[in-house]
């Protein structure tokens, strides 16, 4: 089961780079809070993000939809991906990933699914499944739980908690979550859902009222 992942944050870096959903064509930018560029703290013993971190395009966690599994609404962003392969990737890189499983994070009262995946060009991609990660990459899943639980504590926020007591769900479960967020994205792009301040300008979604020409898109980028 393969998906295209957009890498926002390379492993071991701290700048909170993300798809800027409120800007035309959704460039990747460093997030700003209270006028300051955002960085994640180093959660001992880790340095920055501990995976290549990014998102699946054409997905949306709808903030107006209550997830029946978590009891919380979506976080208004594309679905997040933690890529656990051995290479350090670049921001903006698009890589094909094999989905292994998913972790249900509840972040400040919002549903924030974290897809666990591995790049298909990784030497271990063929043999690894979510149940094998502990064998091939010991400590990685435990560190993932620890990281997501604690990463906002240095900013005076409470610890996060998890759906299913922090149990990682398997590939089939993860794919159903991805499909659901893809349907929400389709509704958003066809004005069947309220996206608020999200900018849905695009060049490829036929039938979308937000579709623009490649020439228009080029001028947006150049400006």
6 pLDDT tier (thresholds 50, 70, 90) = very high
For strand 94-107 and strand 110-119, is the pairing parallel, antiparallel, or unpaired?
antiparallel
Q: In Å, what is the CA distance from 44 to each residue of 117, 152, 154, 162?
A: 24, 13, 11, 20
pLDDT above 90: residue 1: no
What's the pTM?
0.95
All domains in the chain, ordered by first residue: 2-194 (3.90.80.10)
Give me the mean pLDDT over the 149-156 stretch.
92
Q: How many Å apart are CA 81 and CA 101, to the nearest integer?
A: 10
| pLDDT computed for residue 41 by the predictor | 95
Q: What do you get for the CA distance between the two ends of the chain, in Å? A: 38
Q: Which pLDDT score, from 0 to 100, does residue 108 have?
A: 84
pLDDT of residue 74 exceeding 90, the answer is yes
Band (109; pLDDT cuts 50, 70, 90): confident
Identify the residue with better confidence: 127 or 94.
94
Alpha-carbon Rg for the chain in angstroms = 17
Percent of the chain with pLDDT over 70: 100
pLDDT band for position 175 (cuts 50, 70, 90):
very high
pLDDT, average across residues 182-211: 96
pLDDT band, residue 208 (cuts 50/70/90): very high
Confidence class for position 107, pLDDT limits 50, 70, 90 = confident
Across 188-211, average pLDDT: 96
What average pLDDT does the segment 56-63 reach? Answer: 97
Q: In the prediction, which pLDDT does 177 show?
A: 97
Within 8 A by CB and 6+ apart from 171, the residues are 1, 99, 100, 101, 129, 130
Looking at per-residue confidence, does 65 or 109 come out higher?
65
């Amino acid at each position: 089961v393969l998906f295209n992942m957009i890498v926002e944050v390379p492993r071991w870096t701290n700048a909170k780079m993300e798809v800027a959903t409120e800007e035309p064509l959704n460039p990747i930018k460093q997030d700003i809070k209270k006028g300051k560029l955002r960085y994640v703290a180093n959660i001992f013993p880790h340095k920055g993000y501990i995976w290549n971190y990014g998102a699946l395009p054409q997905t949306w966690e709808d903030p107006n939809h209550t997830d029946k599994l978590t009891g919380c609404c979506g976080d208004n962003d594309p679905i997040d991906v933690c890529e656990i392969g051995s290479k350090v990737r670049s921001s903006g890189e698009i890589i094909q990933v094999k989905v292994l499983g998913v972790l249900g994070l509840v972040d400040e009262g919002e549903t924030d699914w974290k897809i666990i995946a591995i790049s298909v060009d990784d030497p271990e991609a063929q043999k690894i499944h979510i149940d094998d990660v502990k064998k091939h990459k010991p400590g990685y899943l435990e560190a993932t739980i620890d990281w997501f639980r604690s990463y906002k504590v240095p900013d005076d926020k409470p610890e996060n908690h998890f759906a299913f007591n922090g149990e990682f769900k398997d590939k089939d479960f993860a794919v159903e979550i991805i499909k659901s967020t893809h349907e929400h994205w389709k509704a958003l792009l066809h004005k069947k859902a309220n996206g608020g301040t999200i900018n849905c300008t695009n060049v490829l979604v036929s039938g979308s009222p937000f579709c623009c020409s490649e020439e228009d898109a080029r001028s947006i980028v150049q400006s």
